[in-house]
Structure 1
Amino acid sequence: MIPMECEKKSMTENEKKKDYLKGYERAIRQMERSDERIREIRLNKICPTVIMDGMPHTFGGKDLSDYAALMEEEERKYRKARYLRIKRCQEISDKIEQMKNEDEKDVLMYRYIKRMKWEKISDKMGFDVRQIYNIHGKALTHFEL
Structure 2
Amino acid sequence: MEEQVKSMEEVKQYLNSCLSAKREVEQLETDIAYFRAEKMSVRHTLDGMPRGSDHKDLSDYIVKLEELEKKLLRARYKRVAIYTQIFDQIEKMEDDMERELLTYRYLKGHTWEKVADEMYLSYGYCHKVHNKALEHFASVCTSSTERVALEL
TM superposition score normalised by structure 2: 0.79
> 5+ unaligned residues in a row in structure 2: which ranges?
142-152
Instruction: Work out the percentage of aligned pairs sharing the same amino acid.
Output: 35
Q: Is the 8 A contact 1:107 1:121 kept in 2?
A: yes
User: 1:116 aligned to 110, 114, 117, which one?
Assistant: 110
Match status 1:52 vs 2:46: no
Alignment of 1:51-130 (within 5 A): 52-56=51-55, 63-130=57-124
Report the Cα distance in structure 2 between the residues aligned to 1:82 and 1:13, rounded to whole angstroms: 28
One-letter code of the match for 2:51?
M
Q: Is the 8 A contact 1:41 1:67 kept in 2?
A: no
Q: Is the 8 A contact 1:35 1:78 kept in 2?
A: yes
Q: Is the 8 A contact 1:25 1:115 kept in 2?
A: yes
Q: Which residue of the partner structure matches residue 38 of structure 1?
A: 32
Shift of 1:132: 0.7
Bigger shift: 123-132 or 43-52? 43-52
Alignment RMSD (CA, Å):
2.2
Bigger shift: 45-54 or 15-24? 45-54
> 5+ unaligned residues in a row in structure 1: which ranges?
1-8, 57-61
One-letter code of the match for 1:52?
R
Instruction: Name the structure, 1 or 2, with higher relative contact order (CA <8 Å, separation 6+).
Output: 2
Shift of 1:87: 0.9
One-letter code of the match for 2:85?
E
Report the Cα distance in structure 2 between the residues aligned to 1:113 and 1:81, rounded to whole angstroms: 16
TM superposition score normalised by structure 1: 0.82
